[in-house]
């Protein structure tokens, strides 16, 4: 669970408002394994218990913030490419419609 909580913190750092070196900056995404967070969240999204963890830590709210980033198509593609939308029907519909 600490990983998920940390993940929410890292998403908030993405904009650079809380960090001078955001975890999901273009350079860090291309040069490091930070994209692994999206793979981890994708795995969690495929399991009902994983979805509960995503909802509990309000990670889904951060997904909407990512989708709204017009200049970060790479993050949107990683997010949508890794998520399993088969279990989370209501939230996934809203995410896709936001795109």
The two most distant CA atoms of the chain are separated, in Å, by 36
What's the CA gap between 83 and 80, in Å, rounded? 6
Judge if pTM exceeds 0.75: no
- Residue 52 makes CB contacts below 8 A (sequence gap 6+) with none
Where do the domains of the chain lie? Answer: 2-14+24-98
Say if residues 95 and 84 touch (Cβ distance below 8 Å): no
What's the CA gap between 27 and 56, in Å, rounded? 30
Q: What is the pLDDT of residues 64-89, one digit of tens each?
A: 888 888 888 999 999 989 988 887 55
The DSSP-derived string for 38-62 is: HHHHHHHHTSHHHHHHHHHTTHHHH
């Amino acid at each position: 669970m600490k990983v998920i909580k940390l993940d929410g913190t890292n998403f908030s750092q993405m904009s650079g408002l809380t960090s001078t070196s955001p975890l999901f900056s273009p350079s860090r995404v291309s040069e490091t394994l930070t994209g692994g967070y999206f793979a981890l969240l994708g795995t969690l999204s495929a399991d009902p218990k994983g979805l509960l963890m995503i909802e509990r830590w309000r990670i889904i709210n951060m997904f909407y913030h990512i989708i709204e980033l017009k200049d970060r198509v790479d993050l949107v593609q990683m997010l949508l490419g890794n998520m399993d939308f088969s279990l989370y029907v209501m939230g996934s519909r809203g995410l896709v419609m936001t795109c």
